Amino acid sequence: MTTRTNWVLTTLCAALLAACGSGNDDVTSASPGATTDLDAVADQRAAALVAQMTLDEKIQMVHGVGTQTGPLGGAGYIPGIPRLGIPDYYIADSATGVYQTLNGSPVVNGATAMPSTIALAASWDTQLAYNYGAQIGKELRTIGFTEGLGGGVDLARELRNGRTFEYMGEDPVLAGYMIAARTTGTQDQKVVATIKHYAANDQETNRFTSNSIIDERTLRELHLLPFEIGVKTGKPGNVMCSYNLVNGVKACENKYLLTDVLKTEWGFKGKVQSDWFEALTDTVRGANAGLDEEEGGSTDDSTGFYGIATYFNQKLKAAVQGGTVAQSRLDDMVQRKLRTLIRLGIFDSPAALNGTIDQAAGNVATQAAAEQSMVLLKNSAPSNASAAVLPLNAATINSIVVIGGHADVGVLSGGGSGLTPPRDGNAVTCLQPTAMIAGQVTACATFYKSSPLAAIKAKAPNATVTYLDGSDATAAAAAAANADVAIVFGTQWQTEGGDLPSLALPNNATDPANQAYDQNALIAAVAASAKRSVVVLESGTAVTMPWLANVHAVLEAWYPGMQGGPAIANILFGATNPSGKLPITFPQADTDQPQKAISSTDLNVTYSEGLQIGYRWYDAQNIQPLFPFGHGLSYTTFAYSGLTTAVDSSGNLTATFTVKNTGSVAGAEVAQLYTAMPSAAGEPPRRLIGWQKVQLAAGEAKTVTVSANNERLAIWDINLHQWHIPAGAYTFYAAASSRDANAISKTQTLEEKILPISK
């Protein structure tokens, strides 16, 4: 069982699964001659509706009535008000696709499973992010859902976090702009998009009670920044606050986060929604802090939902009547929801229920996303050859052995609310079907029926292609020795509800429900005997690789979605040139991370690394990573030249340089721009400030322009509580990764600037 409600029904306790605009322009004025400003129109129409509502109707609008309720089921449901034309409000998990559940079971609705969100981040492609959001938005609306709960952007501070695969990596600028594009794509389909989990929700251990202790500068420069960019640029209708405490206060009851920063400083016009149960613990504190909606909620606060306490139904009504929550605060809660529905065109055109999903279109979309997201980590030549192992040439290969990872039947998905249920059942039988993680979530992984083996056979029709399940390392090594190429699949399953014990590929001891053998031992055995060895990883976070020096190629496929098999084959055989880049640093060992271990007993999670997160940590501490942030190889080569930079009077940067494809095949390069700030700024060695993904034919050169607004060059001033550009020399680097030895640079002196608060 992997949905919120399944866990509710299973545990009947507070340890539940968490849920972890740009809008349409068809809003019309309420009267001729009224303002044509679409935001103002939405506000006016919403205010007119609120003025007509009774107290009970207003309370009805700000809480769910449980989960898996209503005609569609799903994560949440708020009945509408027919007399005012207010439609029913249906909510579904949608990290990678529509997760619809009813009466304790997933609904087989034909939804498309897209690649994991970490894979999307690895594409570094904002247009793809828009398309990704649009595809999921279309399917949400087709089924009838009003709101999708995708959109995780908590930073990968702790790579063992069970939800790393749901998030957008370790850099706030990359995560922020990618989630903004995804948000716009969803909301352009007349579906409310969510950005979550606000804020600093960076591990699953003690997830309802952990306290993230973060200094103001670190909080603003890193852990709030992806939300800030996402809110200002993507204009989501919904921000979900998280379970954890931030500096001693529950995130959903934290006035600094919800009102002072999100609503006042950033100008957020949508609603703030609680994570599902246990995120809210006090009616008055939550409402006055700025929480606008309680989910999953219940029909009766006195009994809660399956015995789990709720707070925004009868308790909120009593608080309003008693004056501890102002009537104006309740009106604002309702106003925010209604103005969002109007602004996005949902109010006037609510979705019909139970439409038919275009599965063929979904298959095209998910395969395209997978192919643009995979990262070629290593690609070397055998000792007796000059050419790198990949891409494989079907015309010259006589035999291939595919080994392990259930590659004969399917590809791996993440678990929890980040899962999109398969259309046609799980491809793999769990070894321990009753096993649970922390008593909350099934320990069984889901595999989509998209066989890499079948796709490889289709790419090499004249070769002998065999499969071994990996359980016998000796047999696998012998088969590898006799084949032209050995392709070994490694799988690392993650899920909401629990953290990984290690970044090492799991074995039969560390993941007994899903692994029947030691994966590292298998890969080492194959590498020792194979003429040419390729490792394909299906993971949701970084993987340590003790065998790396002995294999010829490594492809990070992430959780590639329900067309992952053909996508992997297209990359391996060069039908698609890999263009993904790492959105996270791959360390050589678990203990290379700032947090050496995840404590199961200490509820205080102190962010003692400060500004040194991800690649900033490895650079500042002079630690050599296994693979650096931004790294990713291609089947062609690129050269950078001619960097120039200009900064305008407001501190906005424009960098221009040339990227040339110096190889023999077309490819795409993610050209990254970093800055090293003046030493007085007190920053880590480099920070990403922008990028552009550029498509180039063989031999083609293009001028690349990367623009970065002034906040990308600023630090957070804890005295002024504003962004501040320190005076001094800034060195800008155009590079293929955060540690590109061939990066080109330009130094420019900037004047000090205090930046005004912008919305």
Low-confidence ranges of the chain (pLDDT < 50): 1-32
**Selected catalytic residue, list 275, 292, 499, 518:** 275
User: CA-CA distance, 738 to 669, in Å (whole number)?
Assistant: 14
Task: Tally Cβ neighbours within 10 Å of residue 215.
Answer: 15
For residues 147 and 78, give the distance between their C-alpha atoms in angstroms, rounded to a whole number: 11
pLDDT tens digit sequence for 322-336: 999 999 999 999 999
Q: Which domains, ranges and CATH numbers included, belong to the chain?
A: 4-25+42-103+144-343 (3.20.20.300), 368-583 (3.40.50.1700), 634-754 (2.60.40.10)
Which token pair is 711? 């906040």
65, HSE (Cβ side, Cα atoms, 13 Å): 15
Bin 217: left if φ > 0, else alpha if -120 < ψ < 50, else beta: alpha
Q: Which of 574, 535, 541 is nearest to 554 (CA)?
A: 535
Are 637 and 662 a contacting pair, CB within 8 Å?
yes
Confidence (pLDDT) at 598: 96
Model pLDDT, residue 34: 52
H-helix or E-strand spanning residue 225: helix 225-229
56 is catalytic: no
Beta bridge partners of 102: 105
Q: What is the pLDDT of residue 103?
A: 86
Size of the chain in residues: 759
